[in-house]
Amino acid sequence: MLKIHQFVIKTYASRFTYSFLMVNGLPGIQFLLDPGKSVHYVYSFAYRDHKIHEIYTAWNPDKLRHLSLE
pLDDT recorded at residue 51: 94
pLDDT recorded at residue 68: 58
Query: Residue 69 — very low, low, confident or very high, per pLDDT cuts 50/70/90?
Result: low
Instruction: Give the separation between CA 7 and CA 39, rounded to whole angstroms.
Output: 18
Instruction: Give the separation between CA 35 and CA 2, rounded to whole angstroms.
Output: 22
- Its pTM stands at 0.68
Instruction: Classify the phi-psi angles of 24: left when phi > 0, otherwise alpha if psi is within -120 to 50, otherwise beta.
Output: left
Query: Dihedral through CA 23, CA 13, CA 40, CA 5, nearest 10?
Result: -80
Q: What is the pLDDT of residues 5-63, one digit of tens each?
A: 778 778 877 777 888 989 889 999 888 877 666 667 888 999 999 999 999 988 777 77
